[in-house]
Amino acid sequence: MKHQQRIKVIACNWKMYKNKPEALNFIKKVNFFVPNPKEVETIIFAQS
């Protein structure tokens, strides 16, 4: 099944990722589906 909806927000721990490229790199390592950086508009950093 192909992903067709845009991914606009990625949530992650701020201690792990400081910017969008770092977060997308992690997704690429652990997931077969990698969102296109141009489709990701926001990354939410949650403080734990």
Provide the residue-wise pLDDT of the chain in tens; the chain has 48 residues. 555 565 555 665 555 666 777 777 777 777 766 666 666 666 655 554
Write down the pLDDT at residue 26.
74
Write down the pLDDT at residue 44.
59
Distance of alpha carbon 15 from alpha carbon 39, whole angstroms: 23
Distance of alpha carbon 14 from alpha carbon 3, whole angstroms: 27
24 within a domain of the structure (yes/no): yes
Instruction: Look at the chain and report how many structural domains it folds into.
Output: 1
Write down the pLDDT at residue 19.
72
Is 0.75 topped by the overall pTM?
A: no
4 within a domain of the structure (yes/no): no
Write down the pLDDT at residue 46.
57
2 within a domain of the structure (yes/no): no
1 within a domain of the structure (yes/no): no
38 within a domain of the structure (yes/no): yes
18 within a domain of the structure (yes/no): yes
Tracing tokens 């770092």 back to the chain, one arrives at 22
3 within a domain of the structure (yes/no): no
- The parent domain of residue 25 ranges over 9-46
Tracing tokens 């489709």 back to the chain, one arrives at 39
